[in-house]
Amino acid sequence: MKIVIIGHICIDHNVSEKTSYIGPGGPGKFINKALSKINNCQISIIAPYGRDFLSYTKGQKILPAKPTINSTLTYENITQNGKRIQKALNRKEARPVKIQKEESKIIEQADVIFITPLLPNFTANYIKKINRLAKKNVIKVLLPQGYFRSFDAKNKVTFRKFLEASKVLPLIDFAIVSNRDYPNIENLSSVWARKYKQLLSLPWRTKER
C-alpha cells in the first residue's frame, strides 16, 4: 500500500512546569509512525520545511528532497496549571508545496492520500489539483485542524470557523476531527455528514490537559 501525506510538518516546542521538549511534530509524523509498522506500507510526506528540520528526517521520506524555506513551522505548547497556551511561529513561509514532477509521480501512485494542514492555507483549488493527479479509486482523508486555527498579534492560536468547508469537504472521503479542533465538534461533524453525502466524518475525543 502506498500512502501520501500532504500538509504541514512542524517542530514542537513543549514547555510545562516540570519539563521541556523540542522535536518533530504534526500529523505526518504520527501517521508515519503508526502506519510504518504495517508490512508493505510505503509512506511519503509532502510538506514545506527548513534546514532546521533535517535532523528529524531520518526514517521518513519527505518531499521536496531539499528544504524549500528558511525556518520550519514551529508550534510552542506552554502548559501551566493544567492549561495549555499554543503559539505558532514561522507561518509566513509554510505554504503548500508546489506540486512538481517528483511530487506528481508520488501522488499518481498513492492508494491513500492524507491531507493534513496545520494552517488554513490549503485552498480547494490546491486539493483539486491533487485529486486530478490521483487514481480514481484513491481514498482521500482530511485532518482539518489547520482550517480551525487563527492567530493573534502575539502568535497565539485561536479558534477559527472552517470557512472553506463547503468547497473542501466535497473533495474528500473521510474527515477525522478532534474535540480540541473546535467547540462542539461532534455536532459540526454530524452537520457535515448530512450535507456531504459522500463524507464520513469521524470525531476523535481527546482528554483535556
Task: Write down the number of H helices and E strands in the chain.
Answer: 5, 13
Mean pLDDT by 10 residues, the chain (209 residues): 96 86 88 85 95 91 94 92 88 96 97 97 98 96 95 94 94 87 83 78 51
Per-residue pLDDT tens over the stretch 145-163: 999 999 999 999 999 999 9
pLDDT at 206: 53
Do 201 and 177 touch, CB atoms closer than 8 A?
yes
Q: Which residues contact 191 (CB under 8 A, 6 or more apart)?
A: none
Cell of 161: 470557523
Q: How many CB atoms lie within 10 A of CB 47?
A: 26
Domain map (residue ranges) of the chain: 2-9+25-71+94-204
Query: What is the phi/psi pair of residue 167, to 5°?
Result: -95, -30
Do 2 and 42 touch, CB atoms closer than 8 A?
yes
Q: Which residues contact 148 (CB under 8 A, 6 or more apart)?
A: 120, 159, 160, 161, 162, 181, 182
pLDDT at 203: 53
pLDDT at 108: 98
Q: Write down the pTM of the prediction.
A: 0.90
Q: How far apart are CA 128 and CA 27, in angstroms?
A: 21
Q: How far apart are CA 145 and CA 19, in angstroms?
A: 26
Q: Which residues contact 60 (CB under 8 A, 6 or more apart)?
A: 28, 29, 32, 43, 45
Do 76 and 89 touch, CB atoms closer than 8 A?
yes
CATH class of 2-9+25-71+94-204: alpha beta
pLDDT at 209: 38
pLDDT at 205: 53
Q: How far apart are CA 203 and CA 25, in angstroms?
A: 21
